[in-house]
Amino acid sequence: MTKIDKLKKKLKMRPRTFSYKDIKRILEHEGYIEDIRGKTSGSRVKFINNNGSIVEMHKPHPASEVKRYAIEEIAIFLEREGKL
C-alpha cells in the first residue's frame, strides 16, 4: 500500500485531525493544482484539475491541521469524483 493509499484510507475514515499538507498531496496526486490568486486570495485556496473540476477550501493558519468540516467536505468531494 502506497503512502497516498494510506492517506486516502485515513481521509475516508473522517479523522479528527488531518494536515493541509496531506490533503494537498492527495489532491495533487489526483491531478489537481493549487490555485492561489495573488495577495488578496487570503486563506481560501482552490484546487483545479484539467477537466475544470474545482474544490475550494480554507487553508489553516497558523496551525497546519484542517478543520473537521473541511475534512468532511474534501472527503465527500473526492468520493463524488470517484477518487476516494
Q: What are the boundaries of each domain within the chain? A: 3-80
57: closest CA among 47, 65, 48, 49?
Answer: 47
60: closest CA among 18, 12, 27, 2?
Answer: 18
Dihedral angle over CA of 38, 72, 17, 49, nearest 10: -40
Cell numbers given for 14: 473522517
Q: What is the pTM of this model?
A: 0.87
Question: What per-residue confidence (pLDDT) applies to 62?
Answer: 84
The CATH architecture of the domain made up of 3-80 is 2-Layer Sandwich (3.30)
Q: Write out the chain's pLDDT in tens, 84 residues.
A: 899 999 999 999 999 999 999 999 999 999 999 987 665 556 788 999 988 889 988 888 888 999 999 999 999 999 998 999
For the chain, give percent helix, strand, coil, nearest 5: 45, 20, 40
Question: What per-residue confidence (pLDDT) applies to 63?
Answer: 84
